Amino acid sequence: MKIGVVGLGYVGIVTSAVLANQGHHIIGVDIDQKRVDGLNCSVNPIYEPGLDELLKKNTGRLFFTTDYSFLREVDLAFISVSTPTVNGEIYLDYVFSAAKSLSKVLRKDAVIVMKSTVLPGTSRKVREITGIETVSNPEFLKEGTAIEDSIRPDRVVIGSTSKEAGDLVEEVWKFTNAPILRTTPEEAEMIKYAANSFLAMKVSFINEIANLCEKIPGCDVNNIAKGIGFDKRISPYFLRAGLGWGGSCFPKDTLAIASYARSMGTPLRLVEAAIQVNNERPRKAVGLLKEMMGSLKDRRICVLGVAFKPDTDDTRESVSIKIIRLLKEDGATVFAYDPKAKTDLAQMTSLDECVNMSEGVIIATEWKEFIGIEEKLKGKYVVDGRRILNPSVLGYKFRAIGLGE
């Protein structure tokens, strides 16, 4: 097919590359001319394992532009623009702006596919704006494994009012051999929010348990998580205690659905509690360091990890960035190292320089590069915010999330 992709952010670029690799001809549209020019020259603006290779492999089937008129003959047009939260509420202007632009160029028998994460009722409103069949087809990608998640998803959700439009979208994703769930557009939109909210709650739950474990001598939250994770009703996934969640999805999606639910007169109290717990995690890491070092004023601190998670250069809502800000508020001099991400808030150095120049170290992102660096850290005050170090090696100048003294 000829497929348009509007919005060349994380989801848009990955979707474009994966579908081009299946033989489709992809026309990507974005308002950022620099990004478009770079993609046409195989310069990828984001880091995602395997994505550079996939883009280069399929250059003959990929074309990127700022001009919507190139979408006149596409069969499908994915909307994958950003849907940020502003003052705690979802901002949908980018979605509706894309819809209005598509309405001017698409054939009336084309299909719009909503990939952006949007509140229930948005896809139906896009159909009203454009007069074109609109299908909700939420993404469930994880940064760091986005290509694998696109090729072998747990499920494909297709929400439509038109069977024919839904069938066309199903044909696109048939290669995944994943279970396909056909729903209404509103159900598909709600599935995305419910999934992210539930996973966010699991993370906040185990972090609450971690707080309690730290008060109990000889108690390690990792063993608690392992013990409950064997229960098939619970499963071990997203029971990794640490510094909480960041990135482009969980923070904005939990805020958006909580705000939407309040507007409907049905507050999601568990989701709101999960947000509150997560907001406390950066201060938790700094607090553990203060317990060992006392005042941080004029002390040199190394933060290992700047990206919100490993295998990405994405710093959106990164807990690491929030920790750096808190350290600086306390008067510390902050150095940082990350294999891929950068920040202007701290002096970026090499791994060895970051550790050697500092008195205290916080492990803020669980990059594989940080596993096994205990010898480098000896003599430093260390907070393991991601539970990747061996406590028995580091002695009394060491604290870890969820580990009793």
The reply, when asked if residue 316 is annotated as ligand binding, is yes
The reply, when asked if residue 35 is annotated as ligand binding, is yes
Rounded to whole angstroms, the Cα distance separating 151 from 347 reads 38
Among 99, 194, 186, 89, residue whose Cα is nearest residue 136: 186
Cα distance between the two ends of the chain: 60
Using only C-alpha atoms, the chain has a radius of gyration, in whole angstroms, of 23
The reply, when asked if residue 134 is annotated as ligand binding, is no
The reply, when asked if residue 140 is annotated as ligand binding, is yes
CA distances from 229 to 74, 109, 222, 232, 253 (A): 46, 48, 10, 7, 25
- Active-site residue set: 249
| Residue 360 · residue 301 · CB < 8 Å | yes
The reply, when asked if residue 52 is annotated as ligand binding, is no
The reply, when asked if residue 241 is annotated as ligand binding, is yes
DSSP H helices in 214-249: 221-229
Rounded to whole angstroms, the Cα distance separating 192 from 278 reads 20
| Residue 103 · residue 73 · CB < 8 Å | no
The reply, when asked if residue 70 is annotated as ligand binding, is no
Largest CA distance in the chain: 69
The reply, when asked if residue 252 is annotated as ligand binding, is yes
**DSSP percent split of the chain into helix, strand, coil, nearest 5:** 45, 15, 40
**Strand 180-183 and strand 381-384: pairing?**
unpaired
**Strand 111-114 and strand 85-86: pairing?**
unpaired
Rounded to whole angstroms, the Cα distance separating 37 from 291 reads 50
DSSP H helices in 47-103: 51-57, 93-103
The reply, when asked if residue 30 is annotated as ligand binding, is yes
The reply, when asked if residue 141 is annotated as ligand binding, is yes
| Residue 204 · residue 273 · CB < 8 Å | yes
The reply, when asked if residue 83 is annotated as ligand binding, is yes
| Residue 389 · residue 363 · CB < 8 Å | yes
DSSP summary character for residue 174? G
Q: Is 134 left (phi over 0), alpha (psi -120 to 50) or beta?
A: beta
| Residue 315 · residue 308 · CB < 8 Å | yes
The reply, when asked if residue 202 is annotated as ligand binding, is no
Q: Is 177 left (phi over 0), alpha (psi -120 to 50) or beta?
A: left
Rounded to whole angstroms, the Cα distance separating 61 from 25 reads 5
Residue numbering of the annotated binding site: 30, 35, 83, 117, 140-143, 192, 238-242, 246, 252, 309, 316
Residue numbering of the annotated binding site for NAD(+): 30, 35, 83, 117, 143, 252, 316
Residue numbering of the annotated binding site for substrate: 140-143, 192, 238-242, 246, 309
